[in-house]
Structures are given as C-alpha cells and as structure tokens.
C-alpha cells in the first residue's frame, strides 16, 4: 500500500470490515472474491472522495488476500 495517512488506513479497514459484515449477514462465506465483489459494489455507490478509499481497499485485498480465523 502506498504511504497514506492513518485516517485513510482506518477508512480502508472500515470499508473492508463493512464488506465482510455484509457477507456474514447474507450468510455467505467470507472469501477473497466475495470481499472484492462487495468492495466493488461499495465503490460504485461511493460519494465524497470515498472512491479512493474503496480503490485502496480493493487493491489491498487483491494483493494481500484475507486471513479468516474461525472462532
């Protein structure tokens, strides 16, 4: 990830968390492809500069993937 402010990092993690929560609420498995799909939907509806946040989140998940632990 490029050097970005801590506020922007928090926003990126927030939208990733929201994407994961949406999958869980819908009863879907939490997998990389599903998270990316949710993030792309969020980006399509983004306003007020959030487009960049979603773009960073998509890039992060696509590059790094996700680690899910079952508890």
Q: How confident is the model at residue 67 (pLDDT cuts 50, 70, 90)?
A: low
Q: What is the CATH number of the domain that holds 14?
A: 1.20.5.5260
Residue 34: inside a domain, yes or no? yes
Query: Is residue 71 included in any domain, yes or no?
Result: no
CA 70, 8, 5, 48: dihedral to nearest 10 degrees?
A: 180
Number of domains in the chain: 1
Domain assignment present for residue 25? The answer is: yes
pLDDT (mean) for 36-56? 94
Chain mean pLDDT for the chain: 88
**Segment 9-14 mean pLDDT:** 93
User: Which pTM was predicted?
Assistant: 0.83
Confidence of residue 8 (pLDDT cuts 50, 70, 90): confident
Q: How many helices (H) and strands (E) does the chain have?
A: 3, 0
Q: CA 9, CA 59: separation in Å to the nearest integer?
A: 13
pLDDT (mean) for 20-35: 95
Instruction: With residue 25 as reference, give the H or E element that holds it.
Output: helix 6-25
Domain of 48, in residue numbers: 6-63
């Amino acid at each position: 990830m490029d050097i970005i402010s801590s506020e922007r990092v928090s926003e990126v993690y927030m939208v990733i968390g929201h994407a994961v929560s949406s999958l869980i609420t819908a009863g879907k498995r939490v997998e990389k492809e599903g998270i990316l799909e949710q993030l792309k939907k969020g980006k399509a509806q983004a306003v007020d500069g959030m487009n960049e946040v979603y773009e960073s989140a998509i890039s992060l998940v696509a590059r790094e993937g996700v680690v899910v632990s079952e508890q």
